[in-house]
Chains A and B, each alone.
Chain A
Amino acid sequence: MRIVQTRRISQAFFFILFVWFCIVSTVGEEFWQLRDWPVNWFLQLDPLVAIGTILTTHTLYLPLLWALATVVLTIIFGRFFCSWVCPFGSLHHFIGFLGNRKKKTAEKIQLNKYRKAQCIKYFVLIVFLFMAAFPSVAATLQTGLLDPIPLITRSFNLVLLPIVDGSINLVSVSSRFYVGAWLVFGIFLTAVLLNLVIPRFYCRFICPLGALFGIVGRFAIWRIGKNQSECINCKLCEKSCEGGCEPAGNIRISECVLCFNCRQECKDEIISYQTQPSLSGELTNPDISRRGFVLSLAGGVFAVPAVRLSNKLGSNWYHRVIRPPGALEEEQFLKRCVKCGQCMRICPTNVIQPGGIEGGLENLWTPVLNNRIGSSGCQLNCTACGQVCPTSAIRPITLSEKLGLEEFAKAGPIKLGTAFVDRNRCLPWAMDKPCIVCEENCPVSPKAIYTQECFNTIRDGVLTVKKVSGNIIETVEEIVPGRFATGDYYCVIESNELRKISANTENTIMILSDSQFEKKPAPGSKIEIQVRLQRPYIDIEKCIGCGVCEHECPVSGRKAIRVSAEGETRSFDRRLLLKR
């Protein structure tokens, strides 16, 4: 079999494997749902994730050790990952092939020539790595914005899968929603469509992972090159060159993605994969100018303090940035989150959403709870998000730790924030209507939402007694029939006796037969119609900020009970109570 055939099989295999891992990132017991599928494997293979977190945290989180294998293989074989494994690269490869296949050979050679702008990806990498390496406290991990593995993971999980599955609902019971997914989609689509302009546009000009491989792989033991210095110079080897690395002349090793198309095209078999440097000469180092390097270094160094000028990590923190259970303290969290969206994909209730920039630029696409979306707040007995987080930005907590049981009893349950009742919007508080859906759904025992009973005289609720017979009071005023028959209305007479109303017609009120008045109200006397209300209160010591109340609140626009991140366990600064 020819080597390009082998490469295509490898690309198809890893692409399908990647899509399969996206599909099985579903909580459930079926074989196609999350059991022991290594759904993070591509993210773990990605050395940019590993190096980024090493720079920010000075540690290598165990599952990321896979990246070492990628690095070692790259040192030996060159940028094999780009053309043999990377699902994003394979997608570009395929689209680029489709879009340009009808062009003439001369056009193709022109299309696949080396361009000076290919150095941009190195600058992107330098900016990100310096942001990550920024002296301790201020470091931030932003590689995930353009790192191809998190990017395609995010795009498939938050955009493509929900769109495809949204109409058939095979993978999830109800349609999935992701706030601001249009931006994720826009970037993904742009990256894919740019292949029609130049094949592998993203890989050649933008991809910081490719840049990293370019630097790591420049001393590769095996490399593409010519095995004799002279050839007929037909340039056919550059016709389908995926990396734009000029194999005909001085081959640029750091740009070569090992597609082997050049070897395939060379009829004289002058191009080969060999240990000896190309006999027509080679350039191993990336084409980075000193000025460009200094500028991007400065950019990386200044970017972090510039972003932090909004003070979103200080007193100006955004209260709607509610992190999933087990998330690290905010600064530590931003040092690890690669914005891959795995937690948002796995979340069975769809409550974990990609963050926007209201919480600061760094917050973009990091996981944030939005209780208005999904099937129900953060479910009490679930810790799925932490189990799939590839970098432990959300720790893989146990249920005992989340709920504060057993050895965690002293620490108490993990609080995501605190619910606040908006008394200006709440039905029992603002409109004298019974409700307490929030209390009903509060999953904590004893409930963090409790109620206090009160009886309020309704509007125009003072009526004049015409006649009383048995348990029926006739009134002078007209009433809407059946209005007080809901079981929530009471009648008060002058002696302050309170009796439950069972029914009413347009001018009679029927008192529940087993709760008659001790002394009948006299004709001409006044009675008051009162509604019994249970008004919700939050027990701040009990509330865990799960947001089930906010999700269920029937005031569906701006909810009458809302969770905000004050009091979250992970932050000392945002605590609300004196203790804990």
Chain B
Amino acid sequence: MIEQNDKKLDRREFLFRAGKAGVSIAAAGTVSYLLYDSKGPGAGTKEEELVTLPDFSVSHQAGKTMSIVKGPDRTKTVDKAIELLGGIERFVKPGETVAIKPNVAFASPPMLGATARPELVAEVVRLCYTAGKAKKVIVTDNPINDPASCFTLSGVGKAASQAGADVVMPRDNLFRHTTLAGGRLIKNWPIFYEPFKNIDKLIGIAPVKHHHRAGASMAMKNFYGLLGGRRNIFHQDINTIIAELAMMVRPTLVILDGTEVMMTNGPTGGSISDLKRTNTLIASCDCVAADSFGCGLLGLAVSDLPYLAKAEKAGAGTTDYESLKPISTTVS
């Protein structure tokens, strides 16, 4: 709009313009008032909204907490081991959603034993769908190596999706901060939370592996994969962090695969000569008990792994697995 210079400002025009000016000033004033910050930024770090991982454990049944099955065929031993605890129906109710957390930490082929075996993961997925009548099964991990490569090379990704499970990759937007009640290390720490938020049951699947810093990597250490951020910093106090993981994560069931055990060069392995055949598979509702038995396969005592005693003290389980009267059997 071009205003004529010779045109005199009339009253109506003046009031109209004064009104517009007034509204603009009021708007500027309101915005300033609303955003007014008398203190300035504090020294503290950003406050995150905290989440807590649900408790996935099932009710205790005497004498049916842990089973140990001997045999060379993982598909058969895991079927038997779960059957001995009351079958998958005890753990997975029809229509439920199940998350399976295998150890897929490394981009390494299955034969090297650094990751959970694909056939084992597939079999548990299958059980959840058939006998358990689960609505949906997801398989997920937050590996150390490149996630996509880990799921591909370990064979777990393909096996899981062929068995009908959804493979969930650890995308950046799936992490939330948590603080573990009674914990010393897990404070305002990002964890791989979103996939587990709305599920009903959690099953961990881990191989038995040598680990130079922690002594052994088994069912409890498997949940390291739920930690996000710069989780390597916890290696300064590895025993406490593993114990805190056992406090933070309450799985429905853990499958500890000792069919072939990585005796040396763990947890990466890299050679078949690092493996030893021990033909043992453990299913347990108690992580600590499973690991307390599992360390024996590596030739270690419970006292060699301080995190076991710590977890027991924190109430995450028992190191005295014999007290659970584990059911043992052999399938050929």
A binds B: yes
By the criterion CB–CB under 8 Å, are B149 and A433 in contact?
A: no
Give the residue name and chain of the A residue nearest to B236 (CB): A433
* Segment touching A, from B17-25, B42-50, B264-272: B264-272
Contact A380 B108 (CB under 8 A): yes
Contact B149 A379 (CB under 8 A): yes
Q: Does B54 contact A (CB under 8 A)?
A: no
Q: Which residues of A contact B146 (CB under 8 A)?
A: 348-349, 374-376, 379
A173 to B104: give the CA distance in the assembly, Å: 16
Residue in contact with A28 in the complex, picked from B145, B152, B233, CB distance below 8 Å: B152
Would A173 and B238 count as touching, CB distance under 8 A?
no
**Nearest B residue to A169, CB-CB:** B171
- The 8 A CB mask of B152-170 against A (1 = contact, 0 = none) is 1100001000000000011
Question: Quick check: is A233 within 8 A (CB to CB) of the other chain?
Answer: no
Q: Tell whether A187 is near chain B: CB-to-CB under 8 Å.
A: no
Contact flag A381-B236 (CB < 8 Å), given A173-B169, A439-B213, A440-B213:
no
Bound-state CA distance A500–B236 (Å) is: 17
Are A554's CB and B148's CB within 8 A?
A: no
Min CB gap B237→A, angstroms: 5
**Cβ–Cβ contact A440 & B211, under 8 A:** yes
Chain A residues within 8 Å of B238, by CB: 434, 487
- Stretch of A133-141, A155-163, A444-452, A518-526 at the chain-chain interface: A444-452
A502 touches B107 (CB 8 A): no
A376 and B144 within 8 A (CB): yes
Taking CB atoms, residues of chain A closer than 8 Å to B145 are: 349, 375-376, 379, 548
Kindly state the separation between the CA atoms of A174 and B172 in the bound complex, as whole angstroms: 6
* Contact A375 to B147, CB < 8 A, known contacts A173-B170, A445-B269, A554-B230: yes
Q: Which residue of A lies closest to B173 (CB)?
A: A169
B171 → chain A, closest Cβ, in Å? 5
Chain B hits for A445, CB < 8 A: 265, 268-271, 273-274
- Interface residue A505 (Cβ < 8 Å from any Cβ of B): no
Q: Determine the distance from Cα of A427 to Cα of B268 in the docked complex, in whole angstroms.
A: 22
Q: Knowing A174-B171, A440-B213 touch, does A447 contact B265 (C-beta < 8 A)?
A: yes
Q: In the complex, how many angstroms separate the beta carbon of A393 from the nearest chain B beta carbon? A: 23
Please report which residues of chain A, range 460-508, place their CB below 8 angstroms from some CB of chain B when the two chains form the complex. 482, 485-488, 500, 502
Report B-chain residues with C-beta under 8 Å of the C-beta of A556.
230
Nearest A residue to B107 via CB reads A379
Residues of B within 8 A of A500 (CB): 306
The interface residues of chain A, by DSSP majority, are classed as: loop
Taking CB atoms, residues of chain A closer than 8 Å to B230 are 554, 556
Indicate if B4 sits at the interface (CB-CB under 8 A): no
CB nearest neighbor in B for A384: B149
A445 to B263, CA, bound (A): 12
What's the tally of chain A residues with a CB closer than 8 Å to chain B?
48
Q: Which of A379, A433, A442 has the most CB of B within 10 A?
A: A379
Residues of chain A contacted by B108 (CB below 8 angstroms)? 380-381, 443
Most buried by A among B148, B264, B265, B309: B148
- Determine how close the nearest CB of chain A comes to the CB of B308; give it in whole angstroms: 10
B90, CB-defined interface residue at 8 Å: no
CB–CB B212/A437 < 8 A: no
Chain B residue with Cβ nearest A427: B236
Tell me, in angstroms, the Cα distance from A175 to B170 when the chains sit together.
12
CB atoms of A434 and B236 under 8 A apart: yes
Residues of A close to B269: CB separation below 8 A: 445
Q: Tell me which residues across on chain A come within 8 A of B265, comparing CB atoms.
A: 445-447
**CB pair B149 A27 closer than 8 Å:** yes
- Chain A nearest CB from B44 CB (Å) reads 21
Shortest beta-carbon distance, A370 to chain B, in Å?
Answer: 15
Report A507-565 residues with CB < 8 Å from chain B CB: 512, 514, 534, 548, 552-554, 556
A173 engages B147 (CB within 8 Å): yes
Q: Is B232 engaged at the interface, CB distance under 8 Å to the other chain?
A: yes
Tell me if A435 is interfacial: C-beta within 8 Å of chain B.
yes
What is the chain B residue whose CB lies nearest that of A486?
B237
A433 and B147 alpha carbons, distance in the complex (Å): 29
Q: Is B193 part of the binding interface, using a Cβ–Cβ cutoff of 8 Å? A: no
Residue of B nearest to A379 (CB): B107
Contact A552 B144 (CB under 8 A): yes
Q: Give the contacting residue for B107; candidates A382, A451, A553; CB below 8 A.
A: A382
A437 pairs with B232, CB closer than 8 A: yes
B152 neighbours in A (Cβ, 8 Å) = 27-29
A348-B148, A436-B213, A487-B307 known; A381 and B271 CB under 8 Å?
no
- Interface membership of B197, Cβ < 8 A: no
Contacting pair B270 A502 (CB below 8 A): no
- Whole-angstrom distance from the CB of B23 to the nearest CB of chain A? 36
Task: Answer yes or no: B332 CB below 8 A from chain A CBs.
Answer: no
Q: How far is the CA of A443 from the CA of B106 in the complex (A)?
A: 9
The distance in angstroms between the C-alpha atoms of A445 and B275, with both chains bound, is 12
**Is A441 part of the contact surface with B, judged by Cβ < 8 Å?**
yes
Considering only residues 341-360 of chain A, those with a C-beta below 8 Å from chain B are 348-349
CA distance A382 to B107 in the complex (A): 9
When each residue 13-34 of chain B gets 1 if its CB lies under 8 Å from chain A and 0 otherwise, what string results? 0000000000000000000000
B97: CB under 8 A from chain A? Answer: no
Q: B239 within 8 Å of A by Cβ?
A: yes
Task: Please state if A382 and B149 are interface contacts (CB–CB under 8 Å).
Answer: yes
Q: Which of B174-229 contact A (CB under 8 A)?
A: 184, 211-213
Closest 3 CB pairs of A and B: A445-B270, A487-B306, A445-B271
**Chain A residues in contact with chain B, CB under 8 A?**
27-29, 169, 172-175, 348-349, 374-376, 379-382, 427, 433-437, 439-447, 451, 482, 485-488, 500, 502, 512, 514, 534, 548, 552-554, 556
A-B contact pairs, 13 of them (CB 8 A): A27-B149, A28-B148, A173-B148, A173-B169, A349-B145, A349-B146, A381-B153, A382-B149, A435-B213, A440-B211, A440-B235, A445-B265, A502-B309
Besides A174-B172, A487-B239, 14 more A-B contacts (Cβ < 8 Å) are A175-B172, A348-B149, A374-B146, A375-B145, A379-B107, A379-B146, A381-B107, A436-B213, A446-B271, A447-B265, A486-B240, A487-B307, A487-B310, A554-B230
